[in-house]
Amino acid sequence: MTNGVMKSPLHRVTTNVDKMRVSIAVLTEPDPEQEIGPVDSLVDEDRPKLYKTVKNYSYFNYVCFQKGVVAIDAMKM
């Protein structure tokens, strides 16, 4: 959605031999009928659209996973 302006941080875990690690998964998913893609205000002549617009992202992500492909890479123009 940010057209590459913001980058996702790498997930890193540091182990601690004295404390048990707790992880909490938080998942959100857009509505299947919702199209997602770069926000129009972040696309211009200097920064062209880098990603396709996709509808039903969860299905798209599932199909990519089955193929061994990262969904965000499959969305690149």
* C-alpha closest to that of 4 among 39, 30, 53: 39
Domain boundary assignment for the chain:
35-74
Query: Which of the residues in the chain have pLDDT under 50?
Result: none
Q: Are residues 71 and 25 in contact, defined by beta-carbon separation less than 8 angstroms?
A: no
pLDDT for the residue 1 = 86
Q: Are residues 55 and 34 in contact, defined by beta-carbon separation less than 8 angstroms?
A: yes
* C-alpha closest to that of 52 among 31, 69, 74: 74
Q: Which helix (H) or strand (E) holds 54?
A: strand 54-55
Question: 4-23, pLDDT tens digit by residue?
Answer: 888 877 777 778 889 887 77
- Tokens describing residue 49: 């659209």
